[in-house]
Structure 1
Amino acid sequence: MDSANNDNDAHDKSEANDEAHDKSEAHDEAHDQLYKKLSETELQILELCITPKKTSDLLNLLGYSSRTGNFKSALRHLLKNNLIQMTIPESPRSKKQKYEISHKGKKYLHFKSKSQIPNKT
């Protein structure tokens, strides 16, 4: 009887390990897909937000004279994926609002520098 129980326990542990491994691989693939999907503009904004920046500062540094669709889309994508965050999240339209890189954004830049994932153009 003990041998049968030990075999069942070993089988259950093996299945649990396989399931955890599959979840880990899926998580890694999701990260890879996100990282590959960043445009050049998104990457530039992410790097600029290492120190908090106002929208006007970002536009200026990127060479835009106004908020283009490309800029708005890039900012939205970075916010949606939690790569950057607002410094005043409770007042999204505040004139004092700035954007800063999040912990996830820092991890992304670190990961990117290690793996040299190409950006989409």
Structure 2
Amino acid sequence: MIPLLRSPERLTAFGEDADAVDTAMDLLADGRRRAALQYLAETGGDATLTELAVEIAAQEAGVEPNAISDHSDVSSRERRAVRISLHHTHIPKLTTAEVVDYDTETETITLTDHGRTLLERADAVQVSA
């Protein structure tokens, strides 16, 4: 059983003010950001930008993520579009909020402790909803 949350501030690891709650909700509001965080959590905490883009493009195309494939059902155009949006929009936003670390040389994204906590809070909200 999930304990009751007395205030919305407890939904985030970013602090106890309204701005922190808004930041957490904004980060989780976008499906690609949620998918990126979930994929990182499921794969040990890190992935390259290309791996992440391929996985998210496959999810969006409805390709079975557990199937053994190279995601050939997803066009290179779709993978590229996801990669561009991750690179220019979503990863910078997650990095600024210290939810992920991004190594520009290796294009490796690593989930931080803040990111793990944010995901735990998001999971708690989804389960209780």
Give the shorter-chain TM-score range. 0.5 to 0.7
Query: d(CA) in 2 for partners of 1:48 and 1:28?
Result: 28
Distance in 2 of aligned mates of 1:27 and 1:99 = 27
Matches within 5 A, 1:22-101: 27-38=16-27, 39-50=30-41, 51=44, 52-63=46-57, 64-66=78-80, 67-68=83-84, 70-71=85-86, 72-86=88-102, 92-94=103-105, 96-101=106-111
The runs of 5 or more residues in structure 2 that have no matched partner are: 1-14, 58-77
Aligned match of 1:114: 124
TM-score normalized by the length of structure 1: 0.61
How far off is 1:115 after superposition?
A: 2.3
What root-mean-square deviation, in Å, do the aligned CA atoms of Structure 1 and Structure 2 show?
Answer: 2.1
Q: How many residues align?
A: 85
Structure 1: unaligned runs, 5 residues or longer: 1-25, 87-91, 117-121
Give the deviation of 1:46 after TM superposition. Answer: 1.2
Instruction: Return the TM-score normalized by structure 2.
Output: 0.57
